[in-house]
């Protein structure tokens, strides 16, 4: 394992310190407990939005803190949910009196720790609502599992909920719009190479020189199947099929298409993927009206990508287009 | 020493022995988790229980609720992941149910443990057969209760619980996971012992060690 | 080699097509010859700015096409300079009557092909000025070499020259400000792992499991020395020393600090690097007044990073802060 | 066939043979470039000369300037990198210097080649000993000129040039590169033949083959 780190135990706190130094115009960071809030938090009268989870998915979530998106991000250890105390501290730090929305990816650890933090915040008089993101169609959603995992669709939920809070929606309304995005967004990913958790020092899984994992999770969890490497277009088709069939997306739909890099894949490849995905959607009569391409929800240095499709309507489109000013997503100001 | 009650000191010893067991078996627990999870259950439990015991040594608890509420809070704030809140709630509920006493009799401990299980279920929504720590806790507490119904001897109850815990742990091997990270594996989760079930069995082994022979 | 590609021969044209589809709000792409221009090119009366070079360094240069930065980017084959014809076509496409600036990285191939294109453009009545970016201190600048290589400092030259053109400077002035940036920017990089050129299919160089290359070029060219892996902080110190000693940068200077990912390094690592770099600059009394962290000048999937320091003055700071609206760099609108 | 002049058809044959030689030796050229450059000189030259010959076959040139200006433009627009503009300019200048003739005599070809070298220097600024194609072109043309001074036989001149080219090529091995990609290597460039020098030697080998025995 070769990494640009010092003591593996200090990866998260050193990175968060660096993030705070690099983006002092946008954020403040707390070192203990570790969390990141927008510089002007709390914003009086605005619903606060907090997300978080294990580290290693950067720019998610710290890169999305700022006007028009998150008020706070709570990074746990690499691939491990934060405990309730930093979540509680971040929640209190961004409560401007209008309550706080927790955006939680659907993993048991994240769910339980955010739940506890929400209980404690409520006990301290902060109104908290939570939404669970579960966009990964690689995992069957059924009563008999922990449910679908939350992956790159989280970015879209955070942007749109952030815009709703920014325009002055109340907590209930912000939560509803977040739920609406969650209901209309689906994703699926592929890994070409594994990732290496710094303190583990070993690849999280192994793939042969000609193998790829279809339906990979963002912590390297197994997916649907392990197959031989195929041309990019064939891989895109494998991912888009289950995504489009799930809701389903149908001819006439307007959608946002996100091609998300897993961290170690060059941009040329992401655009080759985008090209094919846009082609398939066009063939199906689905209109791509908004796009996003890049590393947003990563899995350390994993090579691979995920495709996310969000069904848009006029309101979601307006909220997507609204100004956002964060380290990783910025437009309109 | 009577085996009809368990004192705060003995309960402290229980937690310390549990810390020792998870530390001893850290690689076993992590290995189980690497087969069907994310390979951190051993280090999660070791880190958490290490913090618990360190805190207790720094300021020993005077009452049962102080001891377990402290242990629960420490787990919740030092572990993260799924096991932190689950074990944390388990201990927190034991503490709140036991109240500010300095010892518990057999029915008292049974009631506290059952409240702890109630907390785990409230948090994790696990049911029998989901392949989680529930599949050890539930049969172990049933055996504990049954023993307490016929005898006031805590050691007897602990042995019965530990026996049931081992059976429950081993039975998770054949199950298909329906909760937690392992559930993503579907069919592929079959054939492996659940790591949380294994650590919970160690909890009852520690209780047996604390209470000594029947 | 595992890559998300179809036929390796089509990597660049498919990626450029995908880029055009993903960013149709910002750019138009020409498929033959291959180049990318901002959507509203040519802008009448504005100096046009063209850059380009081998592909594989994305987002450079296509990701920097748009208002406030480049008018056109000309991507050659992977790691190979484009020929003069697409450069000429792009130059003509962005000439709004005020002439065109070519921003060229100092590699013999790039220099010669841009030179030829400039001659041909001049013959067609387009006034062209060229500047050569050569910020890489890993290579000795001497009369006895092709000179220093152009690396991540190019992004800063393109942004600042773009802002100068945007505010209405004439060709001479835009070229002068670009030269000024070139005179004040220095970079050096490190590789942890090699990159793989798609049509080669083989790593461009090899490093042992515990080796890193200090002073790596963005095409995998050898650097100053190959050493054993060290903690991140020690590596940062190795890169910053030669950078700061070169101009030199001294106490009291205000600088822009860019930590650039080579493509395959996770963001947590880049921020760990940033943290140490900012610390070293502070120790030396150099004030970091502007920052940039991310993958800007990459080398396919190479793991590693480079550090770039630009000495700022009021004018350069104002031009840096000016609005920019491109796929990869965006603020102020 | 007189060896005092070279016709457009023979010059076309020269370029075709050059294409054949770089294609035959593609891996040798690439190997040289991988030692001190970026491992593409073989494929650059093969792609470029392949395109040149394809174009000539599609529409054969009637005059020397048409032939070489076409060849030069094709190299410039199909190769990229350093060798594209350098070889391209070399051929372009040959064409413009030769003008719209249908054949060249020995002094005419010598003058055209020298103009070509002038183009390479104008573009690349290489000097003797910089370890580039210049270190083959320059001694080869000096030998060609010297031969032309004493005899009008082109074949003799071509042989003299090729001999000097081989010597020049081999002498690049000991040089420290001061131009192009290889110059980044500093000391480490010593000990390797320059790939552009090697391909330029093939250019004179092709000329010898075209003109036949003295
Ligand atoms: N919903 C749940 N209810 C009860 N126990 C659960 C639940 N989800 C997970 N667990 C238990 O937690 C264990 C995993 O703990 P651990 O590995 O420490 O956390 P994580 O899964 O977050 O990495 C599982 O083996 C299982 O016994
Ligand atoms: N400035 C220069 N003048 C003359 N010849 C040069 C110069 N720079 C490079 N060359 C020649 O070009 C050759 C390399 O060509 P090639 O590998 O095709 O291009 P690139 O270096 O762009 O990959 C070198 O071996 C050298 O002979
Ligand atoms: Mg685990
Ligand atoms: Mg975990
Ligand atoms: Mg080369
Ligand atoms: Mg090259």
B23-57 pLDDT per residue, tens = 999 999 999 998 998 889 999 999 999 999 999 99
pLDDT of residue B211: 95
Q: How far is D34 from chain C (nearest CA, A)?
A: 9
Within a domain: residue A199?
A: yes
- Domain match, A121 and A223 both: no
Render C164-182 in DSSP notation, one character per residue. Answer: HHHTT--HHHHHHHHHHHH
E-state strands within A98-150: 100-105, 128-133
Per-residue pLDDT tens over the stretch C153-181: 999 999 999 999 999 999 999 999 999 99
Measured between CB atoms, which of A109, A217, A219 is closest to B80?
A109
Strand C304-311 and strand C254-261: pairing?
antiparallel
Would you name the residues of C annotated as active-site residues?
57, 219
A293 contacts in chain C (CB < 8 Å): 18, 22, 327
Residues near C263 by beta carbon (within 8 Å), at least 6 away in sequence: A264, A266, A267, C195, C295, C298, C299, C300, C301, C302, C303
Under a CB-based contact definition with an 8 Å cutoff, are residues A327 and A59 in contact? yes
Residues near B54 by beta carbon (within 8 Å), at least 6 away in sequence: none
Q: Which domain holds residue A311?
A: 185-319
* Cα B75 from Cα C59, distance rounded (Å): 45
Crossing angle for the helix pair B64-78 and A84-94, nearest 10 degrees? Answer: 70
User: What residues are paired with B13 via a beta bridge?
Assistant: none
Under a CB-based contact definition with an 8 Å cutoff, are residues B48 and B74 in contact? yes
C84 contacts in chain D (CB < 8 Å): 76-77, 85
Is the beta carbon of D49 within 6 A of some atom in ligand 2?
no
pLDDT of residue D214: 59
Under a CB-based contact definition with an 8 Å cutoff, are residues A320 and A61 in contact? no
- Domain match, C259 and C314 both: yes
Q: In whole angstroms, how large is the CA radius of gyration of chain C?
A: 19
* Cα C7 from Cα C10, distance rounded (Å): 5
Q: Could you give the angle at the alpha carbon of A13 between the alpha carbons of A8 and A14, nearest 5°?
A: 75
* Cα C308 from Cα C154, distance rounded (Å): 10
Within a domain: residue A39?
A: yes
Within a domain: residue A263?
A: yes
- Domain match, C167 and C199 both: no
Which of the listed residues D22, D35, D41, D135 should we mutate to test ligand 2's pocket, taking the one with most ligand atoms within 8 A of CB? D41
User: What residues are paired with A72 via a beta bridge?
Assistant: A37, A50
Under a CB-based contact definition with an 8 Å cutoff, are residues D209 and D180 in contact? no
Ligand 1 atom closest to the CA of B195, numbered from 1? 25
Under a CB-based contact definition with an 8 Å cutoff, are residues B198 and B167 in contact? no
Under a CB-based contact definition with an 8 Å cutoff, are residues C131 and C101 in contact? yes
Q: How far is C136 from chain D (nearest CA, A)?
A: 11
- Domain match, C51 and C112 both: yes
Closest ligand to D42 CA?
2
H or E stretch at D200: helix D195-211
Q: Give the closest residue to C246 by CA, choosing from C329, C185, C164.
A: C185
Note residues around ion ligand 4 (Cβ under 5 angstroms): A 80; B 38, 40, 81
Crossing angle for the helix pair B195-211 and B41-58, nearest 10 degrees? Answer: 40
Within a domain: residue A330?
A: no
| Domains defined for chain B, CATH in brackets | 5-211 (1.25.40.340)
Under a CB-based contact definition with an 8 Å cutoff, are residues C112 and D86 in contact? yes
Closest ligand to D34 CA?
5
Q: Does the pLDDT of residue B2 top 70, yes or no?
A: no
* Cα A230 from Cα B164, distance rounded (Å): 50
User: Distance of CA C84 to CAs A28, A66, A74, C36, C112, Å?
Assistant: 48, 44, 50, 15, 9
Mean pLDDT of chain C: 96
Counting runs of H as helices and runs of E as strands, what totals does chain B give? 9, 2
Residues in chain D: 214
- pLDDT (mean) for D55-79: 96
- Domain match, A71 and A203 both: no
Within a domain: residue A327?
A: no
With 0-12 / 13-18 / 19 or more C-beta atoms within 10 angstroms meaning exposed / middle / buried, residue C206 is: exposed
Q: Annotated catalytic, A219?
A: yes
Q: Could you give the angle at the alpha carbon of B200 between the alpha carbons of B194 and B202, nearest 5°?
A: 110
Domain C-terminal end among C184, C215, C244: C184
* Cα C33 from Cα C187, distance rounded (Å): 32
* Cα A114 from Cα A189, distance rounded (Å): 25
* Cα C333 from Cα C325, distance rounded (Å): 7
- Domain match, C205 and C178 both: no
ipTM of the complex: 0.93
Within a domain: residue C127?
A: yes
- Domain match, C113 and C190 both: no
Q: Do C146 and D183 touch (CB under 8 A)?
A: yes
User: Distance of CA B153 to CAs A185, A245, B14, B53, B164, Å?
Assistant: 57, 60, 17, 27, 17
Within a domain: residue A95?
A: yes
Q: Say how many domains are in chain C.
A: 2
Tens of pLDDT, residue by residue, chain C (333 residues):
899 999 999 999 999 999 999 999 999 999 999 999 999 999 999 999 999 999 999 999 999 999 999 999 999 999 999 999 999 999 999 999 999 999 999 999 999 999 999 999 998 999 999 999 999 999 876 656 778 999 999 999 999 999 999 999 999 999 999 999 999 999 999 999 999 999 888 888 889 999 999 999 999 888 888 999 999 999 999 999 999 999 999 999 999 999 999 999 999 999 999 999 999 999 999 999 999 999 999 999 999 999 999 999 999 999 999 999 999 999 998
Low-confidence ranges of chain A (pLDDT < 50): none
Mutate to test the interface with A, among B86, B120, B184, B185 (most CBs of A within 10 A): B184
Q: Give the CATH number, domain containing residue A192.
A: 3.30.1180.20
Phi, psi of C242 (to 5 degrees): -60, -35
**Within 13 Å and on the Cβ side, how many CA atoms surround A53?**
30
* Cα B48 from Cα B77, distance rounded (Å): 9
Render B70-94 in DSSP notation, one character per residue. Answer: HHHHHHHHHT-TTHHHHHHHHHHHH
pLDDT of residue D3: 85
Residue nearest to atom 1 of ligand 1 (CA): B124
pLDDT of residue C154: 98
Q: Give the closest residue to A117 by CA, choosing from A53, A45, A172.
A: A53
Which chain A residues in 215-254 lie under 8 Å from chain B, judged by CB atoms?
A: 217, 219, 221-222
D75 CA → ligand 6 middle, Å: 14
- Could you tell me the strand order of the sheet in which A225-228 lies? A225-228, A211-214, A185-191, A304-311, A254-261, A287-294
Q: Give the CATH number, domain containing residue A180.
A: 3.40.50.10440
Counting runs of H as helices and runs of E as strands, what totals does chain D give? 9, 2
Under a CB-based contact definition with an 8 Å cutoff, are residues C324 and C159 in contact? yes
Under a CB-based contact definition with an 8 Å cutoff, are residues C49 and C158 in contact? yes
pLDDT of residue C143: 59
Q: Does the pLDDT of residue B74 top 90, yes or no?
A: yes
List the single residue in D with minimal CA-CA distance to C115. D123
Per-residue pLDDT tens over the stretch C58-108: 999 999 999 999 999 999 999 999 999 999 999 999 999 999 999 999 999
Domain C-terminal end among C158, C184, C210: C184
Q: Give the closest residue to C308 by CA, choosing from C243, C215, C232.
A: C243
Q: How far is B36 from chain A (nearest CA, A)?
A: 9
Residues near C10 by beta carbon (within 8 Å), at least 6 away in sequence: none
- Domain match, C48 and C174 both: yes
H or E stretch at A226: strand A225-228
pLDDT of residue C291: 98
- Domain match, C237 and C171 both: no
Domain C-terminal end among C144, C159, C184: C184
- Domain match, C179 and C211 both: no
- Domain match, A178 and A196 both: no
Task: Assign C303 to helix, strand or coil.
Answer: coil
Q: List all chains that touch chain D, counting a touch as 3 or more CB pairs closer than 8 Å.
A: C
- Domain match, C191 and C112 both: no
């Amino acid at each position: 394992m070769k990494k640009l780190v010092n003591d593996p135990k200090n990866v998260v706190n050193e990175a968060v310190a660096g993030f705070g130094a690099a983006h002092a115009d946008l954020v403040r960071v707390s070192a203990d407990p570790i969390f990141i809030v927008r510089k002007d938090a709390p914003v009086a009268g605005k619903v606060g939005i907090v997300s978080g989870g294990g580290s290693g998915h950067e720019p998610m979530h710290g890169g999305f803190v700022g006007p028009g998106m998150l008020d706070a991000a709570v990074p746990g250890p690499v691939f491990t949910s934060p405990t309730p105390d930093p979540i509680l501290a971040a929640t209190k730090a961004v409560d401007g009196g209008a309550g706080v929305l927790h955006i939680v990816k659907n993993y048991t650890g994240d769910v339980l720790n955010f739940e506890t933090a929400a209980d404690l915040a409520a006990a301290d008089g902060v109104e908290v609502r939570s939404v669970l993101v579960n966009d990964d169609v690689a995992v069957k959603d059924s009563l008999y599992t922990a449910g679908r995992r939350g992956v790159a669709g989280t970015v879209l939920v955070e942007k749109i909920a952030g815009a709703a809070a920014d325009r002055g929606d109340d907590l209930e309304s912000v939560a509803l719009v977040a739920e609406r995005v969650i209901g209309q967004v689906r994703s699926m990913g592929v890994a070409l190479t594994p990732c290496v958790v710094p303190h583990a020092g070993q690849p999280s899984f192994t793939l042969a020189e000609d193998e790829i994992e279809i339906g990979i999770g963002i912590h390297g969890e197994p997916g649907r199947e392990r197959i031989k490497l195929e041309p990019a277009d064939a891989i895109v088709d494998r991912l888009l099929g289950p995504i489009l069939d799930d809701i389903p997306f149908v001819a006439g739909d307007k959608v946002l298409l996100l091609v998300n890099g897993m961290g170690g894949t060059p941009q040329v490849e992401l655009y080759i993927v985008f090209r094919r995905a846009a082609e398939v959607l066009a063939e199906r009569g689905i209109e791509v009206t908004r796009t996003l391409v890049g590393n947003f929800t990563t899995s350390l240095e994993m090579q691979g990508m995920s495709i996310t499709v969000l069904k848009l309507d006029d309101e979601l489109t307006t909220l997507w287009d609204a100004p956002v000013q964060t380290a990783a997503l910025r437009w309109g100001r | 020493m009577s085996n009809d009650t368990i004192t705060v000191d003995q309960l402290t010893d229980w937690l310390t022995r549990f810390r020792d067991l998870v530390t001893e078996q850290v690689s076993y627990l992590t290995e189980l988790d690497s087969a069907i999870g994310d390979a951190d259950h051993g280090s999660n439990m070791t880190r958490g229980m290490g913090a618990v015991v360190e805190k207790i040594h720094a300021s020993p608890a005077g009452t049962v609720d102080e001891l377990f509420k402290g242990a629960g809070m420490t787990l919740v704030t030092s572990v993260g992941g799924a096991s932190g809140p689950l074990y944390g709630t388990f201990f927190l509920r034991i503490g709140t149910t036991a109240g500010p006493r300095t010892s518990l009799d057999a029915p008292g401990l049974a009631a506290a443990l059952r409240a702890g299980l109630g907390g785990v279920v409230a948090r994790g929504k696990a049911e029998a057969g989901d392949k989680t720590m529930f599949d050890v806790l539930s049969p172990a507490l049933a055996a504990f209760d049954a023993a307490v119904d016929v005898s006031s001897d805590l050691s007897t109850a602990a042995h019965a619980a530990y026996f049931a815990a081992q059976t429950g742990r081993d039975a998770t091997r054949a199950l298909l996971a329906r909760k937690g990270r392992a559930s993503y594996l579907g069919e592929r989760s079959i054939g492996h012992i659940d790591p949380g079930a294994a650590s919970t069995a160690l909890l009852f082994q520690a209780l047996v060690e604390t209470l000594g022979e029947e």
